[in-house]
């Protein structure tokens, strides 16, 4: 499989740093961003690389030449003027006859490429986007996926006020079929961007999928992000977050832990974050723990809420947290309830392995995200959360909601007054 690196941009947001050097040649840990990317591709067996260059292109070409000294084969396409990410790629279309990988030239990453490719092939996808939640969804281009991970909507920034959106961001790493290139049809010399101009127009025609991964994929396009990426590289965080490595996780219950529990919450207006929830989640985000929500939602089985409206509530949760710089890595919910004698949705009135205190949601997350359960935690406000944690063999913290139940909890567990103090206890 070939790879295309889009490295033609200047990086105006980096100001003086890119006055005499193209953005992809800025260094992190003694190596340029572009060299990090080339080494990453080579490590994963990808040695045929096309680089689209533009601003100060001679610096890139003089350094890497044909790539032979770096153990790869490099072909260049040189731009006279910016054409946008899609326009840049169109130049190389005659060299792309099979599925290929696309990287933007300003990202640092470490991910399990083989797993990414396997996902792409299993879905028979025409284009697969690496996606993830981030801590600034309000100023990001967002998208939505269905239960099969197929992309069903794009939301370019700026977003409408008071509109709740899923926090899934285009990470700018793609596996693409050459079929997609036929949609780049600009007769004029204008800039065309995949995220803004191409993908939103074709996702209903072509099979576009989102590969949701918590692995490290981060752009360094601002001074602040460049500083953070440099710090993450120097302490080996980028490599540690590769999904080949087991990661610790903190699992959170939803109602009564993240938001006020109104008993069978079914009205979106009733969803409100508890105090210091976002601060607590930001602490988890700044650590190397994954954050997963695992929530029983029997309102679905009881017919009090449908899947579409539950999705809206979770979009509100994503939006409210994102406004404060916090994010959830993955959310799991159980729609079942075993009480068949009550009215509701018959096919959801079943005994299952996912409803807490069963550990199904935790075990599913562990399999999907390669989680180290022995060093993971669950925080919740109910005995069901604590027992689910015990059944999954993870550590547990019960937070106070009902004082009497809190004091009389029969299970051996750590206790905390609220989510924030529980997270501080774990990180301490």
Which residues form the catalytic set? Answer: 253, 255
Cα 210–chain centre separation: 10
- What whole-number distance in Å separates Cα of residue 358 and Cα of residue 225? 41
CA distances from 204 to 228, 408, 427 (A): 37, 54, 44
- What whole-number distance in Å separates Cα of residue 371 and Cα of residue 376? 8
- What whole-number distance in Å separates Cα of residue 173 and Cα of residue 145? 17
* Tokens 């601002």, located at residue: 222
Tell me if residue 198 falls in helix, strand or coil: helix
Q: Report the Cα–Cα distance between both ends of the chain, in Å, rounded.
A: 45
Tell me if residue 186 falls in helix, strand or coil: coil
Instruction: Assess contact for 409 and 383: CB atoms under 8 A.
Output: yes
Tell me if residue 333 falls in helix, strand or coil: strand
- What whole-number distance in Å separates Cα of residue 250 and Cα of residue 253? 10
- What whole-number distance in Å separates Cα of residue 141 and Cα of residue 135? 13
H or E segment at 338? none
């Amino acid at each position: 499989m070939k790879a295309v690196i889009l490295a033609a941009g200047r990086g105006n947001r980096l100001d003086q740093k890119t006055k005499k050097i193209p953005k992809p040649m800025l260094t992190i840990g003694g190596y340029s961003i572009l060299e990090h990317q080339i080494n990453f591709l080579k490590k994963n067996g990808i040695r045929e690389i096309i680089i689209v260059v533009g601003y100060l292109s001679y610096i890139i070409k003089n350094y890497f030449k044909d790539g032979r000294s770096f153990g790869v084969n490099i072909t260049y396409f040189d731009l006279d003027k910016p054409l946008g990410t899609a326009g840049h790629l169109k130049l190389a279309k005659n060299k792309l006859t099979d599925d290929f990988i696309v990287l933007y030239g300003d990202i640092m990453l470490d991910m399990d490429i083989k797993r990414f490719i396997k996902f792409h092939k299993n879905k028979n996808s025409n284009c697969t986007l690496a996606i993830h939640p981030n801590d600034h969804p309000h100023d990001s281009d967002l998208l939505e996926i269905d239960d099969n991970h197929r992309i069903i909507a794009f939301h370019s920034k700026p977003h409408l006020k008071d509109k709740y959106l899923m926090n899934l961001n285009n990470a700018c790493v793609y596996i693409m079929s050459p079929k997609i290139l036929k949609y780049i049809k600009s007769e004029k010399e204008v800039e065309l961007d995949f995220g803004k101009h191409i993908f939103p127009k074709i996702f209903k025609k072509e099979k576009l999928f989102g590969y949701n991964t918590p692995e490290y994929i981060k752009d360094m396009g601002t001074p602040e992000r460049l500083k953070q990426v440099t710090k993450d590289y120097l302490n080996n965080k980028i490599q540690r977050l590769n999904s080949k490595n087991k990661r610790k996780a903190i699992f959170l219950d939803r109602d009564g832990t993240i938001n006020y529990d109104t008993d069978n919450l079914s009205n979106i207006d009733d969803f409100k974050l508890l105090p210091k929830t976002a601060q607590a989640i930001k602490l988890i985000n700044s650590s190397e723990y994954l954050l997963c929500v695992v929530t029983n939602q029997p309102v679905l089985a009881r017919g009090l809420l449908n899947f579409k409206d539950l999705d809206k509530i979770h979009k509100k949760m994503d939006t409210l947290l994102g406004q404060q710089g916090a994010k959830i890595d993955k959310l799991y919910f159980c729609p079942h309830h075993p009480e068949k004698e009550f009215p509701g949705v018959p096919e959801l009135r079943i005994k299952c392995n996912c409803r807490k205190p069963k550990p199904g949601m935790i075990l599913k997350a562990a399999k999907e995200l390669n989680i180290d359960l022995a060093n993971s935690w669950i925080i919740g406000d109910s005995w069901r959360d604590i027992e689910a944690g015990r059944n999954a063999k993870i550590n547990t913290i019960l937070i106070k909601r009902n004082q009497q139940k809190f004091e009389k909890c029969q299970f051996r567990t750590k206790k905390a007054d609220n989510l924030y103090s529980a997270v501080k206890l774990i990180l301490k």
